[in-house]
Amino acid sequence: MPMAVDGHIEAFLEMLAAERGAAQNTLAAYAADLSDFEVFCGGAPGRAAADQVADYVGSLAATGSSARTQARRLSALRQFFLFMLREGYRADNPAADIATPKLPSSLPKFLSEAEVDALLRTAAEMPGPAGLKAAAGLEILYATGLRVSELLALPAGALSTNAQILMIKGKGGRERIVPLSDVAKQAALNLRAGTKAKARYLFAGRATGTAMTRQGFALLLKQVALKANIDPARLSPHVLRHSFASHMLARGADLRSLQKLLGHSDIATTQIYTHVLAERLEKLMQAHHPLAAGRLRNSSD
Q: Are residues 151 and 277 in the same domain?
A: yes
Q: Are residues 55 and 120 in the same domain?
A: no
Q: Considering the domain boundaries, does residue 158 fall inside one? A: yes
Q: Considering the domain boundaries, does residue 205 fall inside one? A: yes
Strand, coil or helix: 206: coil
pLDDT 10s digits, 71-114: 899 999 999 999 999 999 999 999 988 888 876 656 678 899 99
Q: Considering the domain boundaries, does residue 294 fall inside one? A: no
Q: Considering the domain boundaries, does residue 279 fall inside one? A: yes
Residues labelled as active-site residues: 147, 171, 238, 241, 264, 273
Last residue within a domain, chosen from 67, 86, 105 = 86
Q: Are residues 118 and 78 in the same domain?
A: no
Q: Considering the domain boundaries, does residue 126 fall inside one? A: yes
Average pLDDT, the chain: 85
Report residue 4's pLDDT band, with 50, 70 and 90 as the boundaries: very low
Number of structural domains found in the chain = 2
* pLDDT, mean of residues 121-143: 95
Last residue within a domain, chosen from 86, 104, 136 = 86
- How confident is the model at residue 61, as a pLDDT? 87
Q: Considering the domain boundaries, does residue 191 fall inside one? A: yes
Q: Does the pLDDT of residue 155 top 60, yes or no?
A: yes
Model-wide pTM > 0.75: no
Provide the terminal-to-terminal Cα distance of the chain, rounded to the nearest Å: 77
- How confident is the model at residue 291, as a pLDDT? 63
243/239 Cα distance (integer angstroms): 6
* pLDDT, mean of residues 254-281: 78
Parent domain of 40: 7-86
* pLDDT, mean of residues 117-132: 95
Q: Are residues 124 and 162 in the same domain?
A: yes
Report residue 277's pLDDT band, with 50, 70 and 90 as the boundaries: low
Q: Considering the domain boundaries, does residue 107 fall inside one? A: no
Q: Are 155 and 202 in contact (CB under 8 A)?
A: yes
Q: Are residues 227 and 276 in the same domain?
A: yes
Q: Are residues 46 and 134 in the same domain?
A: no
Rounded to the nearest angstrom, the gap between the alpha carbon of residue 139 and the centroid of all alpha carbons in its chain is 17
117/274 Cα distance (integer angstroms): 23
78/80 Cα distance (integer angstroms): 5
pLDDT 10s digits, 191-243: 988 887 788 999 999 887 899 999 999 999 999 999 999 999 999 999 999 99
- How confident is the model at residue 110, as a pLDDT? 87
Report residue 283's pLDDT band, with 50, 70 and 90 as the boundaries: low
Q: Considering the domain boundaries, does residue 121 fall inside one? A: yes
The CATH code of the domain that includes 80 is 1.10.150
Last residue within a domain, chosen from 86, 101, 125 = 86
